[in-house]
A and B are shown apart, each in its own frame.
Chain A
Amino acid sequence: EVQLVESGGGLVKPGGSLRLSCAASGFSFNNAWMNWVRQAPGKALEWVGRSKSKSEGGTTDYAAPVKGRFTISRGDSKNTLFLQMNSLKTEDTAVYYCTTPLTGTPGYWGRGTLVTVSS
């Protein structure tokens, strides 16, 4: 069974940093593309960024609002995806989801972790 479990959310002051984790199981994490998606309160889903599998270059891409502040990395030996968030702004307040498309499947989502940026 595929499982994605996010952790690391919490309350942080503007300008601060936070590191989210996503523990993956039930599929070949090393060969999977992984995404971070967020949802601000009462707002639509918003793509944050992506990590390609190492076999396909392992590159990362980011949405414009977070580029230069957020960094996605993966610990393939521990099947974990990370999202390092620096220089946080109040508009980064959202539930952050870890997702994977997995070709030929419906795709999978975690339950999300809440990040609140407030003074």
Chain B
Amino acid sequence: NFMLTQPHSVSESPGKTVTISCTGSSGSVASNYVQWYQQRPGSAPTTVIYEDKQRPSGVPDRFSGSIDSSSNSASLTISGLKTEDEADYYCQSYDSSNHVVFGGGTKLTVL
């Protein structure tokens, strides 16, 4: 079964840059689009990156997405960190049957 692995948690200081990785267990992460969701406590997830690197309107350009085929991984990079960025982040893609697959989520702490 295709799985996506994320670090359980990351922390960084305000104003700094943080990168959250999302590594595919098999096949190629580059074969299907990757989405990234931000989820604050008590709220539904919201999309911060879709189709690998597209940013929805309203999401600041401090958020960016990329794919690294050599490591079979996707990454979400947040620059100029703000305390409001503190949240859980999930990557999502698809397996060979086009079933949705989520990563285990990463808790971002901005301190």
With A106-B56, A107-B35 known as contacts, the answer to whether A47 contacts B100 (CB < 8 A) is: yes
Verify A46–B47 contact, CB threshold 8 A.
no
- CB contacts under 8 Å to B, within A46-86, are 46-47, 50, 61, 63
Q: Which residues of B line the A interface, CB within 8 A?
A: 35, 37, 39, 44-47, 50-51, 54, 56, 90, 92, 97-105
Residues on the B chain within 8 Å of A37, using CB: 100, 102
Quick one: closest A residue to B46, CB to CB?
Answer: A109
Q: Are B44 and A47 in contact (CB under 8 A)?
A: no
A63 to B39 alpha-carbon distance, docked (Å): 22
Q: Which of B44, B54, B92, B98 contacts A97 (CB 8 A)?
A: B44
A14 at the interface (CB under 8 A from B): no
Q: Determine the distance from Cα of A94 to Cα of B80 in the docked complex, in whole angstroms.
A: 34
Query: Most chain-B Cβ atoms within 10 A of its Cβ — which of A37, A45, A46, A50?
Result: A45
Q: What A residues does B46 contact at CB under 8 A?
A: 109
Question: Which of B90, B98, B99, B100 has the most chain A CB atoms inside 10 A of its CB?
Answer: B100
Whether B99 lies near A63 (C-beta < 8 A) is yes
Measured CB to CB, the closest approach of chain B to A95, in angstroms, equals 8
A-B CB proximity, top 10 nearest: A106-B47, A106-B56, A47-B100, A45-B102, A44-B105, A106-B50, A44-B104, A109-B44, A111-B44, A45-B90
- C-alpha spacing A106/B7, complex, angstroms: 24
Which listed residue, B54, B90, B100, touches A35 by the CB 8 Å rule? B100
Find the B residue at minimum CB distance from A36.
B100
Q: Is A119 an interface residue (CB 8 A)?
A: no
When C-beta atoms are compared, the residue in chain A nearest to B43 turns out to be: A111
Chain A residues in 8 Å Cβ range of B35? 106-107
State the CA gap A109–B100 with chains docked (Å).
14
| A-B contact sample (8 more), CB < 8 A, given A47-B100, A63-B99 | A44-B105, A45-B39, A45-B102, A46-B102, A61-B99, A97-B44, A97-B45, A111-B44
Check B50–A50 contact: CB distance below 8 A.
no
A9 at the interface (CB under 8 A from B): no
